[in-house]
C-alpha cells in the first residue's frame, strides 16, 4: 500500500543492542537501505556486558572503529587465581596466568562497558550515512508474502510497528535511580524519538526484503516464528556490579578469580574509569525454581564479596550499577525462516554465561557473518543461496560455545574442584585452553560446498592457514611506500572478496610466469562479476605478497597484469597499494610472513578470503580454473 504510514526498506532490524547496532553499522557502511528500531527510549546507560575479545577487536579494526576502543577500553594483562587456605583463614594467591595468550592475536582482550560499545556504533552508523536508531517502536505483527520470496524486486516481509508513548522519566534500566550519573543525557541526545513530546502513539507498516531480529533473549521475532531457546541452566545464580573499591588487596588493578571455602566465588575485572566489575555467585536453585530477583539487594552482593575476599578488606565507596541473573546456556535450533528472509541473531538465538565474556562478542560476530551476505545479495552480486550459510555457520558456533561454556561455568563455580576433580595443573591448562577458545580466534566454519571448501590438502600449500578459520595477521612491507603493514588489517570489512597471491620470489622466471598466467585468469574472473565501468577491484580485490624486496618490485610491477594493480576512479591511476613484500621493515622488524603462514616460496599459493576475513580455500598458483569455479558457484555474472 502507499498510504502515508507505510514504507519500504531493504533491511529492517528489530533491536538496537550490540547485535543490531553492529549490523546497522555494517549495512550503513555498505550503503544498504536500512532501518533499525528499538522499543527502549535510550540505549544501555551502564553495566551489562563489558568484555571485548581479540577477534572482536580484529573485526572492529576491519570496520574502521578499533581506534575508538583503543582510546576508551581497559586491558587486563594478568589473572590471579586465589584459593582458600586454612593457615590464613581465607584466600591466598594460588597462581597467575596471562589474560591474552601471547601470539593469539595482535589485539588483546579488553573491557569496556556496553553503553560505550553501543555509543561507538551509534556514532559510527550516523557518520556512515546518517542512520539513526528509531526508538520507542515495537513490532506487533509479521506477515510474509510467501509467493514473492523468490522475487528480488519484492518486499515480501511486512511488519506492523506500534509507536510507544515516550516515558515521562528515563527508564531506570537495571539501576536504582540513586545510582545514576548525570552524564547520561549525552547518549540520549544521539537518538531519535526521545525529543518527541506528547502523544505519538500509532501504527505504521514496514515492507522489507529482510527482517533481522536482534531483539535479545526475550526476542519477539523468535517467538513470532514459533522458535524456542533450548538447553538448561546450571542452577546457579549470580550477581554483578560495577564499583570503585577501597581495599587492602595487594594486587591492585589485576583480574582476580577467588574461590572461598564456604562463600562461593568472586570474579573481579578492572575496567575504565577506576571501576571494577565484580561477579559474585549468589546461590543455587532447585530444578524449576526461579530466582527471586527482588531478594537480591546491592547490600547482599557487597556482603558476599566481602565474605569471599577475607582476610582482605573491601569497601565500595561508589557503585555504578548492579544486576542479578541466572546462568543459562541456551540455543535455538534454527536462526532463519522464510527461505532466509527472516533471521534472528545474538541473544535472540543463544545465551551464554557472562563468565567467559561471550554474550556481546558472539552477538556481534553473528551479525558480522550475516551483514555482508545480505548486502551482496541485495546488490545482485551473490545468489541468495549464500544466506543459508549464516544458519550453518553461526548455529554450529553457538552450540560449540555453549558446550564449552557449560563445562567452563562448572569449573568456575567450583562444581569441579581443584585437588579433588582436577589438579592445579589441569585447572591451569583448562584456563589457558578457555582463554584461547573464548578469544573468538578459534572459530572455524565447516566446509559447506559454497563459501568454505573442503580441502584436506590445503595445509600442504599453507601449513598455518586454516580453511574456514579467519585469515591471521603477519606483518609485510608495502611495495610502493616501504611502510610496515599489518596484512590482516588490509582486509577491510567493505564487502569485498580478497584473493591473496603468494607468488614467491618473482626474480625467478618460473615464479614470474606463474604469476602472470594466474593474473590473466583472475582478470577474467574479476571482470565477470564487476558492474560496468566499475574499478577492477570493485567486488574482488587481488592482493599480492612477494618474497622479493620492494626495491625490485617497484621496477618490475609496471609489467604485471592490470588486475594486480588496477586503475581506480576518479583519475584512472594505478595506486600500487595492492602489492606487498615479505622482507624486514625499517622500523618494525621482519614480519616473516611466508614462514608465518607456512608457505613455501618455491611453490607459492593463493588464498581466497571472504569479506569477513574467513578463508574459503587455498589454491596452487596454477589453479586459476578452480578459483573461477569457486566463484561461479555463488556469484552472479554481471
What does the binding site for ligand FAD look like in residue numbers (CB under 6 A)? Answer: 14-20, 37-40, 48-49, 51, 114, 138-139, 174, 214-216, 220, 240, 323, 325, 346-348, 354, 357, 359-360, 363
In the complex, the smallest distance separating the C-beta of residue 397 from ligand FAD, rounded to whole angstroms, is 14
Q: Are 492 and 372 in contact (CB under 8 A)?
A: no
Query: Cα–Cα distances in Å, from 237 out to 105, 287, 327, 413, 556?
Result: 33, 13, 6, 10, 65
Catalytic choice (43, 139, 354, 566): 354
Q: Which is nearer to ligand FAD, 139 or 418 (CB)?
A: 139
**Catalytic, out of 108, 271, 277, 498:** 271
Contact assessment for residue 217 and residue 229, using Cβ atoms and an 8 Å cutoff: yes
Instruction: Confirm whether 354 is a catalytic residue.
Output: yes
Give yes or no: 271 in active site: yes
Q: Which is nearer to ligand FAD, 137 or 451 (CB)?
A: 137
Q: Is 210 a catalytic residue?
A: no
Q: Where are the alpha helices (DSSP H) in 106-260?
A: 114-129, 185-188, 220-225
- Give CA 238 to chain center in angstroms: 25
Catalytic annotation on 50? yes
Pick from 316, 329, 401, 357: which is nearest to 79 by CA? 357
- For ligand FAD, the closer of residues 69 and 580 by Cβ is 69
Catalytic residue among 38, 50, 505, 582: 50
- Closer residue to ligand FAD (CB): 323 or 613: 323
Give the end-to-end CA distance of the chain in Å, rounded to a whole number: 32
Q: To the nearest whole angstrom, how small is the minimum distance from the Cβ of residue 401 to ligand FAD? A: 12
| CA separation for the pair 462, 619 (Å, rounded) | 9
Q: In the complex with ligand FAD, which residue's Cβ is closer, 180 or 603?
A: 180
Contact between 8 and 208 under an 8 Å Cβ cutoff? The reply is: yes
Q: Determine contact, residues 630/525, Cβ cutoff 8 Å.
A: no
Neighbours of 250 (CB within 10 A): 8
**Rounded to the nearest whole angstrom, what is the least distance from the CB of residue 302 to ligand FAD in the complex?**
17
State how far the Cα of 357 lies from the Cα of 427, in Å rounded to an integer.
19
Smallest gap from residue 405 Cβ to ligand FAD (A): 11
Shortest reach from residue 362's CB to ligand FAD, in Å: 8
- Per DSSP (E only), the strands in 117-226 are 133-135, 137-144, 157-163, 202-213
CA atoms within 13 A on the CB side of 142: 22
**Residue 620 near residue 518 (C-beta atoms within 8 A):** no
Q: Which is nearer to ligand FAD, 18 or 495 (CB)?
A: 18
Q: Which is nearer to ligand FAD, 104 or 362 (CB)?
A: 362
Q: Which of 210, 237, 279, 325 is catalytic?
A: 279
Listed in order, strand segments (DSSP E) in 177-252 are 202-213, 229-247
Question: Mapping DSSP to helix (H, G, I), strand (E, B) and coil, where does residue 82 land?
Answer: strand
Contacts of 85 (CB under 8 A, 6+ apart): 91, 92
Residues forming the active site: 50, 271, 279, 354
Amino acid at each position: 500500500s502507499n498510504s502515508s504510514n507505510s514504507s519500504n526498506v531493504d533491511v529492517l532490524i528489530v533491536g538496537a543492542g550490540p547485535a543490531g547496532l553492529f549490523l546497522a553499522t555494517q549495512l550503513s557502511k555498505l550503503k544498504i537501505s536500512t532501518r533499525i528500531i528499538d522499543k527502549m527510549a535510550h540505549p544501555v546507560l551502564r553495566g551489562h556486558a563489558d568484555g571485548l575479545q581479540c577477534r572482536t577487536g580484529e573485526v572492529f579494526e576491519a570496520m574502521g572503529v578499533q581506534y575508538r576502543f583503543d582510546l576508551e577500553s581497559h586491558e587486563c594483562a594478568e589473572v590471579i587465581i586465589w584459593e582458600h587456605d586454612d593457615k590464613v583463614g581465607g584466600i591466598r594467591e594460588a597462581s597467575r596466568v596471562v589474560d591474552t595468550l601471547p601470539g593469539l592475536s595482535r589485539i588483546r582482550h579488553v573491557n569496556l562497558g556496553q553503553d560505550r560499545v553501543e555509543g561507538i556504533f551509534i556514532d559510527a552508523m550516523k557518520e556512515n550515512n546518517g542512520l539513526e536508531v528509531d526508538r520507542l517502536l515495537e513490532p506487533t505483527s509479521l506477515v510474509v508474502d510467501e509467493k514473492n520470496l523468490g522475487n528480488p524486486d519484492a518486499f515480501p516481509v511486512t511488519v506492523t510497528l506500534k509507536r510507544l508513548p515516550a516515558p515521562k522519566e528515563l527508564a531506570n534500566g537495571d539501576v536504582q535511580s540513586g545510582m545514576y550519573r548525570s552524564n547520561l543525557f549525552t547518549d540520549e541526545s544521539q537518538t531519535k524519538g526521545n525529543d518527541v513530546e506528547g502523544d505519538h502513539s500509532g501504527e505504521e507498516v514496514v515492507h522489507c526484503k529482510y527482517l533481522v531480529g536482534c531483539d535479545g533473549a526475550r526476542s519477539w521475532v523468535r517467538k513470532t516464528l514459533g522458535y524456542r531457546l533450548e538447553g538448561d541452566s546450571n542452577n546457579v545464580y549470580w550477581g554483578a556490579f560495577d564499583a570503585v573499591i577501597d581495599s587492602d588487596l595487594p594486587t591492585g588493578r589485576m583480574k582476580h578469580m577467588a574461590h572461598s571455602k564456604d562463600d562461593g566465588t568472586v570474579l573481579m575485572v578492572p575496567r575504565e574509569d577506576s571501576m571494577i566489575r565484580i561477579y559474585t555467585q549468589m546461590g543455587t536453585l532447585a530444578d524449576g525454581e526461579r530466582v527471586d530477583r527482588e531478594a537480591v539487594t546491592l547490600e547482599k552482593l557487597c556482603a558476599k564479596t566481602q565474605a569471599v575476599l577475607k582476610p582482605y578488606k573491601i569497601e565500595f565507596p561508589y557503585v555504578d550499577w548492579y544486576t542479578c541473573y541466572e546462568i543459562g546456556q541456551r540455543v535455538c535450533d534454527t536462526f532463519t525462516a522464510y527461505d532466509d528472509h527472516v533471521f534472528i541473531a545474538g541473544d535472540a538465538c543463544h545465551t551464554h554465561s557472562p563468565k567467559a565474556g561471550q554474550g556481546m562478542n558472539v552477538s556481534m560476530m553473528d551479525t558480522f557473518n550475516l551483514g555482508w551476505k545480505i548486502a551482496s545479495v541485495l546488490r545482485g552480486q551473490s545468489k541468495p543461496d549464500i544466506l543459508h550459510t549464516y544458519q550453518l555457520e553461526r548455529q554450529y558456533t553457538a552450540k560449540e560455545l555453549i558446550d564449552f561454556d557449560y563445562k567452563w561455568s562448572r569449573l568456575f563455580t567450583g562444581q569441579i574442584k581443584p585437588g579433588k576433580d582436577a589438579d592445579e595443573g589441569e585447572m591451569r591448562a583448562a584456563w589457558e585452553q578457555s582463554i584461547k577458545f573464548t578469544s573468538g580466534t578459534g572459530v572455524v566454519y565447516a566446509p559447506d560446498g559454497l563459501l568454505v571448501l573442503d580441502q584436506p590438502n590445503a595445509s600442504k600449500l599453507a601449513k598455518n592457514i586454516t580453511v574456514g578459520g579467519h585469515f591471521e595477521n603477519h606483518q609485510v612491507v608495502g611495495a610502493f611506500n616501504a611502510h610496515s603493514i599489518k596484512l590482516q588489517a588490509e582486509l577491510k570489512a567493505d564487502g569485498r572478496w580478497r584473493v591473496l597471491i603468494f607468488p614467491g620470489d618473482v626474480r625467478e622466471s618460473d615464479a614470474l610466469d606463474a604469476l602472470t598466467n594466474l593474473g590473466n585468469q583472475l582478470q577474467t574472473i574479476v571482470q565477470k562479476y564487476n558492474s560496468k565501468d566499475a574499478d577492477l577491484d570493485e567486488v574482488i580485490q587481488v592482493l599480492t605478497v612477494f618474497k622479493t624486496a620492494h626495491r625490485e618490485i617497484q621496477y618490475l610491477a609496471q609489467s604485471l597484469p592490470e588486475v594486480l594493480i588496477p586503475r581506480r576512479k576518479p583519475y584512472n591511476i594505478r595506486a600500487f597499494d595492492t602489492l606487498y613484500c615479505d622482507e624486514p621493515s625499517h622500523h618494525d622488524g621482519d614480519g616473516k610472513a611466508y614462514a608465518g603462514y607456512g608457505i613455501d616460496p618455491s611453490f607459492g599459493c593463493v588464498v581466497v578470503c571472504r569479506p569477513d576475513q574467513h578463508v574459503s580455500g587455498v589454491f596452487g598458483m596454477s589453479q586459476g580454473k578452480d578459483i573461477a569455479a569457486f566463484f561461479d558457484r555463488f556469484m552472479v555474472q554481471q
